Each structure stands twice: as structure tokens, then as C-alpha cells.
Amino acid sequence: MTARVLLGVAGGIAAYKACELLRLFTESGHSVRVVPTEAALHFVGEPTWAALSGQPVATGVWADAHEVPHVRLGRTAELVVVAPATADLLARAAHGLADDLLTNVLLTARCPVVMAPAMHTEMWEHPATVANVATLRARGVIVLDPAEGRLTGADTGKGRLPEPEEIFEVCTRVLRRGSAADGSLRGRHVVVTAGGTREPLDPVRFLGNRSSGKQGYAFARTAVARGARVTLISANVALGDPAGVAVVRVGTTEELRKATVEAAAGADAVVMAAAPADFRPARYAAEKIKKAASGQAPTLKLALNPDIAAELGQLKRPGQLLVVFAAETSDALPHAREKLARKNADLIVVNEVGVDRVFGQEANTVTVLGADGSTVELSERPKDDVADAVWDLVLRRLESVDGS
């Protein structure tokens, strides 16, 4: 689908990245009007925005006054995205100020609004900014968490604008869901695990599995687009960080366990999409294991890893939802039903896996079993769409708890 998109650009050094975001929108067929603040024009000039968008650039409330741009632009947009959103812009938006064209647009828009902040770490963590972000999110604005990395000058930390491709992915999900995206998980904190753990055997070898993390990352992306605050615990994944997600990186199953238990303590829902290794070497070799002179392979003794999902099931608070996964090679549904009960989970997502099947692929075919006896079959579809369908089931249960 194509849509009328309004791209707001505030006055930060990351304004140059908005050029790439604009290109992604236009090359996807969307009609984009750019509304830069006066400060933003110090970083990227009006001719650049006009050339990239193919549209006149709206720079002030007094230009083309007969068209009443401060009202018309917001009313006609199907999505408003502000990237970068500076601390100043967030403050003015939270307090309902209308002192330039962009803040006027934000007051008149009745479509989904996505803001991608970019600023120094101290500014993002300041109590004033924290309060402003909370206010905007409570109103239904999707305010992405900034990424971590290199900032202006030699500084590094949280405050970097998420990559344009990831912002675009969030916006695409919001457009697909339309008004349903506005606040469906607003105010919720969800924890998602992704990837496969690795258990060191010696300094160069490990036990692992084929999980790519794509399904877990899809859960994180789609939750952000629904307005959730997302903690993504990522195990050995070679994927870019989804925009607006707090990423915790782990390696082993024990590291995954510690991070997930800690994050889950304050979460409304936990989705265990990662593939923890069930076993680990009973003994770690401090030096590389050599071939025996006799030519015989060494004997490897294994120990059981902790069952993270079962532990989360025991720790689950009233009203908290736990979603687990069952990746099976045969007899998937009987094994999954037993697993669902044993782990005290609310939902289990079941799929049959194998070489070149599910792992690393862009699509998935799953069956979702509920502790209430429900069964939902999801035919083959993109992993983002699988995640969205499961979030629908999670949300229905969360709302049922809220209303009880």
C-alpha cells in the first residue's frame, strides 16, 4: 500500500540520515511532504528535501497561508514520522506548543505518529525528557528508544538515531495496521528473546544450533510498532538492531537465563523465541582440544542446561503472559501440549524445523496452542506477520486480565 506521509525533521546533526529515510519512503511509492524546523535547515537545506521528495517543502506557517498548511498537512497525512526528534522537539510536542509548522502539524494530525529521538545520552536520560517521552507515549505516540553508538564528536552512548532502514520497518508495520497500531500494546513492557545460545567447548569450538533470530526480531519489531516498550535479549544474532528496542546481548544459556529472568520481573509479557542449547560440555577445555595420536575422537560428556521457560513459568506473576516455542522434527503437537503444561505457559508456538526449513528463512508456518485449550493455525506467511498474529492472541489475554 502507498500512503501520504509527512516527514518532520528537527534540528539535530542526525538530520542527514532523514534523507535516506525519505528515499526509502519515496522508492516504496509513498507520497512524502517534508516539514523541517528552522534549525533543521542549518543541517540539510530546502533544495535537498524538495529534490528527494519531489514535493514542495513546507517550512513555515506563513508560506502559502491561503492553503492553511498548519491545519491541512496534519489532517491529510496518513502517517507522521519525526526523525530526528530532538529533546527540544519532544518537549514542545509533549506540552502542546504550536510555535512552528511542525508542532502545529503534530497537534492537528489524527493519524499514527512515530518519533525517532536523537540526542546526547545525558539529554535522553534527563528527568525532563523521560517525563516528556512518557507523556507522548501515554497519548498514543510511538516514541522509539534511540540506539547506542557513536554520537556527535568522540562521544558514544545511548542517543543515536536508529538506522533509517529500521525506522522505515516500524513505519511500514504501522501503516499496514492503520488505526489498530495506535496503542494496541501502549503502556506495555514486553520481553523477547531471540537467536541461539552457544556453549563453549574450548577456546575455538562451541555447541550451538541453527537459530537465526529472525522470528524473535520480528516479534520485537512488531511490538514496537504497536507502541510497546521492548527489551530484546539477543543470543549470537547477525541482524541489525530493530529501531526503538533495548537490546541485551548474551552468549550462553546461563547468560540468557540471567538476563531474561531480570528483564521479565517487570514485564507484562515474555516471548521466549530464542533457542537455548539444552546441553553444555560438562568440562570446558582451557586449550584447544587436539586430535589423539591414536586417531580416535575424544569423548564428550554433556551436562543439562537450566530450563529457562520453566523457571519463568514458576516465577510468573498474576496477569503476566508467557509465550514459549516448540521447534520439533516430529510429533510436534503432542510434544508441544506436554511442554505447554510443564512450563506453565499461556501460549506455545509450534513449528516443525529442519535443515533449510524455518531456520534462517523469511517465512514460517506455525500452530499456536493455548493453555485454555485453544488452537490457532497460521499458514505460511512472513515472520513479521506470524509475530503480529501471536501478539493479537497475547493482547486478547492481557485485556481479559485487565477487565476481570
DSSP character at residue 357: B
Report the 10 Å Cβ neighbour count for 200. 15
Q: What is the C-alpha separation between 108 and 23, in angstroms, rounded?
A: 25
Whether residue 209 lies in the annotated active site: yes
Residue 8 and residue 22 in contact, taking contact as beta carbons nearer than 8 Å: no
CATH no., domain 189-281+301-403: 3.40.50.10300
pTM, whole model, 2 decimals?
0.85
Q: What is the C-alpha separation between 80 and 109, in angstroms, rounded?
A: 8
Would you kindly state where each structural domain of the chain is located, as residue ranges?
4-181, 189-281+301-403
Residue 203 and residue 288 in contact, taking contact as beta carbons nearer than 8 Å: yes
Contacts of 314 (CB under 8 A, 6+ apart): 344
User: Over the range 347-359, which residues count as b (16 or more CB within 10 Å of their CB) and which as e?
Assistant: bbbbbbbeeeebb
Provide the pLDDT for residue 180: 44
Helical axes 15-27 vs 164-177, angle rounded to 10°:
50
* CA-wise closest residue to 195 among 265, 255, 144, 243: 255
Q: What is the C-alpha separation between 180 and 163, in angstroms, rounded?
A: 25
Residue 72 and residue 47 in contact, taking contact as beta carbons nearer than 8 Å: no
Q: Which of 209, 236, 351, 364 is catalytic?
A: 209
Which ranges of the chain have pLDDT less than 70?
60-70, 178-183, 353-360, 403-404
Positive or negative: CA dihedral 84, 6, 133, 185: negative
Q: What is the C-alpha separation between 340 and 349, in angstroms, rounded?
A: 9
Residue 190 and residue 271 in contact, taking contact as beta carbons nearer than 8 Å: yes
Write out the three cell numbers for 378. 497460521
Instruction: State the CATH architecture for 4-181.
Output: 3-Layer(aba) Sandwich (3.40)
Contacts of 128 (CB under 8 A, 6+ apart): 87, 91
Angle at CA of residue 352, ends 346 and 355, nearest 5°? 140
Q: What is the C-alpha separation between 350 and 332, in angstroms, rounded?
A: 7
For 283, left (φ over 0), alpha (ψ -120 to 50), or beta?
A: beta
Contacts of 168 (CB under 8 A, 6+ apart): 21, 24, 25, 28
pLDDT tens digit sequence for 173-198: 999 876 444 448 988 999 999 999 99
Provide the pLDDT for residue 332: 81
* CA-wise closest residue to 373 among 403, 350, 396, 341: 341
Angle at CA of residue 373, ends 367 and 376, nearest 5°? 25
Pairing of strands 375-382, 363-370: antiparallel
Q: What is the C-alpha separation between 297 and 313, in angstroms, rounded?
A: 40
- φ/ψ of 303, rounded to 5, equals -125, 155
- φ/ψ of 281, rounded to 5, equals -60, 135
Q: What is the C-alpha separation between 271 and 279, in angstroms, rounded?
A: 21
Write out the three cell numbers for 258. 540471567
- Residue keyed to cell 513459568: 313
Pairing of strands 31-36, 321-328: unpaired
Strand partners, 231: 191, 246
Q: What is the C-alpha separation between 100 and 97, in angstroms, rounded?
A: 9
Contacts of 299 (CB under 8 A, 6+ apart): none
Q: What is the C-alpha separation between 94 and 133, in angstroms, rounded?
A: 7
Give me the torsion for CA of 3, 4, 6, 7, rounded to 10°. 40
Provide the pLDDT for residue 70: 59
Instruction: Please report, as a single letter, which amino acid is at residue 32.
Output: V
